[in-house]
Amino acid sequence: MTVLRSLLAGTCALALAAGAQASDLKVGFLSTLSGGGAGLGVDIRDGFLLALGEAGADDVEVVVEDTQRKPEVAVQVADEFIQREEVDVLTGIVFSNIALAVVPSAVNQGKFYISPNAGPSQLAGRGCHENYFNVAWQNDAMHEAAGAHANDAGYESAFIMAPNYPAGQDGLTGFKRFYEGEVVSEVYTRLGQTDYAAEIAQIRASDADVAYFFLPGGMGISFLKQYADAGVDIPLIGPGFSFDQTILPAVGDAAAGVRNTSEWSPDLDTAANAAFVESFRAAYDRTPSMYAAQGYDAAQLLLSAMETADVSDADAFREALRAAEFESVRGAFRFAANQHPIQDIYVREVVERDGVWTNVVVGPSLQDHSDVYGADCDL
Amino acid sequence: MRRETIINAGLAAGLLAIPLWAHVTGEIFTITLATRVAILALAAVGLNLALGLGGLVSFGHAAYFGLGGYAMGILAFHAQTYDPIFTWPFVFEGTKQMLVIWAVALVASGLAAALIGMLTLHTSGAYFIMATLAFGQMFYYLFVSWPKYGGEDGMAIYVRNDFPGLNTLDPIQLFVICYALLMAGLFVSWRIARSPFGLALQAARQNAERVETVGIRPFRIRLAAFVISGMITGLAGALMADLNRFVGPTMFSWHTSGEIMVLVILGGVARLYGPVAGAALFVLLEHWLGGVSDYWLAFVGALLLLVVLFARGGLIGSLAGREVAHD
Amino acid sequence: MTTILFIEQVLNGLQFGVMLFLMAAGLTLVFGVMGLINLAHGALYMVGAFAAASVAAATGSFLLGLIASLAAAAMAGAIVEIVVIRRLYRRDHLDQVLATFALILIFSEGTRWLFGSFPLYLDIPEALSGPVTLPGGIDYPLYRLFIIAVGLAVAGFLFWLIARTRLGIRIRAGEADREMIAALGVDISKLYTLVFALGAALAGMAGALVGAIQSVEVGMGEPVLILAFVTIIIGGIGSIKGAFVGALLVGLIDTLGRTLLPIAFGTVMEASAATTVGSALASMLIYILMAGVLIARPQGLFGAAA
């Protein structure tokens, strides 16, 4: 009986291997698709699926599930992907706190995780893992680039502000890591705060050369509108998150002319990018955001690895991912030793083009930038 | 045998049999779902004690659920980093022992419930609902802005905690632990409902003046029930943290309070097994509807509305008839 | 901290307070007259903001948007009252809480289904944008002064409505004795629908006014709802005066606490620790105030003794 069963098992495995010539791959896509912050997850998903659709990748099966922006829900979804769906690769998470809840246990169970957005420092440094690839950025990258830009622009004193949560504290630390001028005031606001009158009054009173702020999502929308209305003449800079295509239409001219930093911009001059922006607009009737671009690149990375290796051979597949042989929409892209990007970060400016508020590239801020945490990573 | 007793026995047996069968067939995820049902049911058993028996509509039970979760998170975090929690007046080390964690979770949530209860139980009706809600939010903000324990990010605990003699990483063994605790919680609430204390509590719900005239102070009875209720929910929080290997401030959010309440209502208020039926239904809905539509919460809302408006006894009430069981 | 900054913060606190009042007034009216706890009040705030944003976008007029917000929220309120809420008056608070919690889920997801997951655009009208210089050399946004003025005007209107009009008499009678005014031939169900729609319209207007300086998105009503609850607990449930005083207290204490506490802690500890501890404590301040009120006066500052 035992012999028979193992024989049968052997045949099944063979059959699977034969079918796997086309390198079948199952992806578990978990992201914030409902409630607050859903816009970001939807963009990542749309970008990801667009790339798969364009490649005609019918050998990739994608299971999509919503995490409702709740880490505990995300953990359950990941359990389901791993235990029931038996996916090979997970991806899709928007927020760092959710990534921290899901990623360590998933990669330790032998799954690959490709991060299309969040890049918490813990996973770039000591907690790095051979199965964890970040195709977006380490969280500090845009803040560091903003600090460098503030130097280049000749701002000698800065007022800096972020919500009181780990990504906010990391953000301001990242800014200060590169900024050489004087920080006149460092303010932490409440997470989810919607009224910034008190902080704007402090900015006005500070008389700094520049105000740097990191307020993702709705918080950034509220702040920008109120800041514009308060008539403070201290220039603003921010990370790309606060000036993204998902929120610019809601901010309107309140953000006009503000400089911000990002690894991508819709007008970035690469052939791959022009094609991506055009096909995204055709497919979804809106301008893609940075999140959509990252989702698109995550799928491209995956497809490029599938061309040279089969996911059932984890070591070969890992090597293929590490090679990053794909044409990123942001131009030059490769992985550092900790499997986080080495890439250029640009300074962008908010402008109105054809009736749509969007970003245009002003110039590079940091070139071939990688994060500082890689030194602690043993890969 | 009464019809409700049969339903209860069926629920208890079903919740045990399905994961065992799943264990045999290798459907690991079904076990995980069943474990979730058991833990959520335990949280709702706690609330049902205050809500069903005592008529205390607490909209802040997330506070105890979260405290239980953070008891696990903080103890395990300190055990993970080999850094004592405090060294004065005595050295208190972190631990990975579930039994110790449960004890701490019970004490912490019990103390919080005593404090909140003392402040809010003088009020009644709408004041009580809103005051408990606001106190829950206070805990939420406290933990969101406490950077040492992860703030908004929460804490991931990489290894599940230990239980003597069992391998907690094995889904079925973890399920058995949670199931046993659920049964213990149900036993406690069954005993309380039949005890003089429980009878006085129910009497205080129906007519507080009359209870007072026989020399019982409703406040003290309610406070005791509120504390026990908070402790049971706190224990469930510790278990949920262990199942997820993660704690975060959303455990404290008012949506969590609302969800625990929804479990009680879907199953049937003041029914012994109402929380179990409600939790099972909720997890199934979440699982099925979540796959059907991005807007699945709207369907949950519609269902909840229908239950509240037209099927007040909840699932158990519709199956077993209107009167509340006393057996 | 300079005096100018302090005065500016007081104005900010006032503006936040009157906005809270618009929310709290509806909640407290509905509770006072019908004895109903309405968690879905925040959803009506959201409805108002979305209506204002879409009408303003279509017509280019903020004023039309504001009118639309009133109309849409009042209509949504009336429909909800007739279809659902009406069945809840005789129920206990638990059923009310649950049914209105269910309404939040339906409203939020329904709005997301209609308008998508991205925030909408709503801007301050040209005439009210930019800062003005107040006596003493304080630059302050005109729009925020406008909000304070509107809030105070609405408060005045409500006091007048309740104290001087026929509807106000009925509302007060309804608070005192529901059966009696029904027996006196007042169409009680029409009165209830009217009061509910009035509360909803106030919430919708608050949503539209605030939407112009904040983000118009799904779920925007929930943080405000919780604050409105805190407000009416402090002020006393059912009392318009209590809602007014409570709202101003919450607005001022929250705003001033956020700026003053980190500075105060900065004098005794190192800067970054002071900001963290100060901001953490500031976010709990109003709940501590609420706890204090509950201990000293469980029925709230202006509530009738229970």
Same domain, A229 and A352: yes
Neighbours of A59 (CB within 10 A): 16
**Among C residues 214-233, those touching chain A with beta carbons less than 8 Å apart:** 214-220, 223
Q: Which residues of B touch A70 (CB under 8 A)?
A: 250
Residue B133: its pLDDT value, please? 87
Question: Given CA atoms A27, A28, A34, A35 in this order, what sign does their dihedral have?
Answer: negative
Residue A20: its pLDDT value, please? 40
Same domain, A177 and A256: yes
- Say yes or no: A34 contacts chain B, CB-CB below 8 A: yes
Convert the pLDDT of each residue in A257-304 to its tens digit.
999 999 999 999 999 999 999 999 999 999 999 999 999 999 999 999
CA atoms of C134 and C77, how far apart (whole Å): 39
The yes-or-no verdict on residue A19 having pLDDT over 60 is no
CA atoms of B108 and C11, how far apart (whole Å): 41
A8 within a domain of the structure (yes/no):
no
Could you tell me the two tokens for A269?
């001059």
Q: What is the rounded average pLDDT for all residues in chain A?
A: 88
Q: How many separate domains does chain B show?
A: 1
Q: Residue A11 — very low, low, confident or very high, per pLDDT cuts 50/70/90?
A: very low
Same domain, A118 and A249: no
Nearest to A66 by CA among A30, A14, A39: A30
The yes-or-no verdict on residue A2 having pLDDT over 60 is no
Could you tell me the two tokens for B67?
């405290």
C301 within a domain of the structure (yes/no):
no
C1 within a domain of the structure (yes/no):
no
Could you tell me the two tokens for C63?
């004023």
Residue B189: its pLDDT value, please? 94
**Among B residues 94-123, those touching chain C with beta carbons less than 8 Å apart:** 119-120, 122-123
Whether residue C280 and residue B141 make contact (CB cut-off 8 A), yes or no, is yes
C2 within a domain of the structure (yes/no):
no
- Say yes or no: B150 contacts chain A, CB-CB below 8 A: yes
Convert the pLDDT of each residue in B95-140 to its tens digit.
889 999 999 999 999 999 999 999 889 888 888 888 898 889 889 9
Q: Which residue has the tokens 């246990």?
A: A105
- Say yes or no: C275 contacts chain A, CB-CB below 8 A: yes
Residue A345: its pLDDT value, please? 95
Same domain, A243 and A202: yes
Whether residue C233 and residue B131 make contact (CB cut-off 8 A), yes or no, is yes
E strand residue ranges, chain A: 25-31, 60-66, 89-91, 112-115, 132-134, 157-163, 182-189, 210-213, 236-239, 259-262, 334-335, 341-353, 356-369
Give the DSSP H or E segment for A57.
none
Report phi then psi at A164, rounded to 5. Answer: -80, 75
Would you say B262 and B278 are in contact if contact means Cβ atoms under 8 Å apart? yes
Q: How many separate domains does chain C show?
A: 1
CA atoms of C57 and A38, how far apart (whole Å): 22
Residue C282: its pLDDT value, please? 82
Whether residue C105 and residue B269 make contact (CB cut-off 8 A), yes or no, is no
CB-defined contacts A:C, below 8 A: 126
CA of B164, closest CA in chain C: separation in Å? 39
Q: Which residues of B touch C237 (CB under 8 A)?
A: 126-127, 130
Nearest to B261 among C87, C98, C233 (CB): C98
Helix, strand, coil percentages for chain B (3-state, nearest 5): 75, 5, 20
Nearest CA in chain A to C118: A39
> Which ipTM was obtained for this model?
0.83
E strand residue ranges, B97-235: 155-156
Structural domain including B29 reads 3-320
Neighbors of chain B by Cβ distance (3+ pairs < 8 Å)? A, C
C217 within a domain of the structure (yes/no):
yes
Same domain, A185 and A299: no
C-alpha A44: how far from its chain's center? 9
CA atoms of A211 and A196, how far apart (whole Å): 14
Structural domain including A82 reads 24-137+269-335
CA atoms of C100 and C304, how far apart (whole Å): 25
Residue A198: its pLDDT value, please? 85
Same domain, A244 and A313: no
Convert the pLDDT of each residue in B300-316 to its tens digit.
889 889 888 887 777 88
Residue B269: its pLDDT value, please? 83
Decide: helix, strand or coil at residue A367.
strand
Q: What percent of chain B has pLDDT over 70?
A: 96
Indicate left, alpha or beta for B55 from its phi (over 0: left) and psi (-120 to 50: alpha).
left
> What's the whole-number mean pLDDT along residues B41-58?
93
Which of A205-209, A218-222, A305-309, C18-22 is predicted least confidently? Answer: A218-222
Residue of B138, B209, B282 to mutate when probing chain C, most C C-beta within 10 A: B138
Whether residue B298 and residue C232 make contact (CB cut-off 8 A), yes or no, is no
C55 within a domain of the structure (yes/no):
yes
Residue B322: its pLDDT value, please? 57
- Say yes or no: C87 contacts chain B, CB-CB below 8 A: yes
Residue C1: its pLDDT value, please? 59
DSSP B236-283: HHHHHHHHHTEE-GGGGSHHHHHHHHHHHHHH-TT-TTHHHHHHHHHH
The yes-or-no verdict on residue A36 having pLDDT over 70 is no
- Say yes or no: C105 contacts chain B, CB-CB below 8 A: yes
Same domain, A32 and A133: yes
Nearest to C295 among B119, B142, B298 (CB): B119
Q: How many separate domains does chain A show?
A: 2
The yes-or-no verdict on residue A16 having pLDDT over 50 is no
Nearest CA in chain B to A103: B156
B326 within a domain of the structure (yes/no):
no
Neighbors of chain A by Cβ distance (3+ pairs < 8 Å)? B, C
Q: Which residues of C touch B269 (CB under 8 A)?
A: 94
The yes-or-no verdict on residue A241 having pLDDT over 70 is yes
User: In sequence order, what are the residues at sequence separation of 6 or more whose Cβ sits closer than 8 angstroms to the Cβ of residue A325?
Assistant: A304, A307, A308
> What's the whole-number mean pLDDT along residues B238-261?
91
**Among B residues 207-236, those touching chain A with beta carbons less than 8 Å apart:** none
A11 within a domain of the structure (yes/no):
no
Q: What percent of chain B has pLDDT over 90?
A: 46
A33 within a domain of the structure (yes/no):
yes
Q: What percent of chain A has pLDDT over 70?
A: 93
User: In sequence order, what are the residues at sequence separation of 6 or more whose Cβ sits closer than 8 angstroms to the Cβ of residue B312?
Assistant: B269, C95
Nearest to C12 among A33, A39, A198 (CB): A198
CB-defined contacts B:C, below 8 A: 126
DSSP A323-364: HT-S--TTS--EE-TTS-EEEEEEEEEEEEETTEEEEEEEEE
Q: Which residues of C touch A187 (CB under 8 A)?
A: 262, 275
The domain that contains A317 carries what CATH number?
3.40.50.2300
SS (HEC) of C63-75: HHHHHHHHHHHHH
Whether residue A76 and residue B32 make contact (CB cut-off 8 A), yes or no, is yes
B106 within a domain of the structure (yes/no):
yes
> What's the whole-number mean pLDDT along residues A227-232?
89
Would you say B298 and C106 are in contact if contact means Cβ atoms under 8 Å apart? yes
Question: Given CA atoms B8, B10, B11, B13 in this order, what sign does their dihedral have?
Answer: positive
User: In sequence order, what are the residues at sequence separation of 6 or more whose Cβ sits closer than 8 angstroms to the Cβ of residue A265?
Assistant: A346, A348, A359, A360, A361
C167 within a domain of the structure (yes/no):
yes
B327 within a domain of the structure (yes/no):
no
- Say yes or no: B258 contacts chain C, CB-CB below 8 A: yes
The yes-or-no verdict on residue A17 having pLDDT over 50 is no
Residue of A164, A206, A225 to mutate when probing chain C, most C C-beta within 10 A: A225
- Say yes or no: C284 contacts chain B, CB-CB below 8 A: yes
Give the DSSP H or E segment for A181.
none
The yes-or-no verdict on residue A14 having pLDDT over 70 is no
Nearest to B181 by CA among B79, B26, B37: B37
In angstroms, the Cα distances linking C122 to A246, B2, B302, C293 are 15, 60, 30, 37
C303 within a domain of the structure (yes/no):
no
C-alpha B63: how far from its chain's center? 11
Residue B309: its pLDDT value, please? 87
Whether residue B297 and residue C37 make contact (CB cut-off 8 A), yes or no, is no
State the first-to-last Cα distance of chain C, in angstroms, to the nearest integer.
43
Q: Which residues of C touch B57 (CB under 8 A)?
A: 92-94, 97
The domain that contains C74 carries what CATH number?
1.10.3470
In angstroms, the Cα distances linking B248 to A19, A352, B160 are 43, 40, 16
Residue A63: its pLDDT value, please? 92
The DSSP output letter for A162 is: E
pTM value is 0.83
Q: What is the rounded average pLDDT for all residues in chain B?
A: 88
Structural domain including C23 reads 11-296
User: In sequence order, what are the residues at sequence separation of 6 or more whose Cβ sits closer than 8 angstroms to the Cβ of residue C245?
Assistant: C235, C301, C302
Would you say B262 and B285 are in contact if contact means Cβ atoms under 8 Å apart? no
Residue A13: its pLDDT value, please? 35
Nearest to A33 among B144, B147, B294 (CB): B294
Whether residue B244 and residue A76 make contact (CB cut-off 8 A), yes or no, is yes
B210 within a domain of the structure (yes/no):
yes
Convert the pLDDT of each residue in A142-201 to its tens digit.
999 999 999 999 999 999 999 877 788 889 999 999 999 999 988 888 877 888 988 998
Same domain, A367 and A354: yes
Q: Which residues of C touch A189 (CB under 8 A)?
A: 258, 279
Q: Which residues of B touch C290 (CB under 8 A)?
A: 131, 134
C304 within a domain of the structure (yes/no):
no
Nearest to A202 among C116, C117, C259 (CB): C259
- Say yes or no: A71 contacts chain B, CB-CB below 8 A: yes
Residue-wise pLDDT tens for chain C (306 aa)? Answer: 578 888 888 999 999 999 999 999 999 999 888 888 899 999 999 999 999 999 999 998 999 999 999 999 999 999 999 999 988 888 888 888 889 999 998 999 899 889 877 788 888 888 888 888 888 778 888 999 999 999 999 999 999 998 888 888 888 887 777 777 777 777 888 889 999 999 999 999 999 999 998 888 888 888 889 899 899 989 988 889 999 999 999 999 999 988 888 888 888 877 667 777 787 788 888 888 988 888 888 888 887 754
Instruction: Fill in the amino acid letter for C125.
Output: P
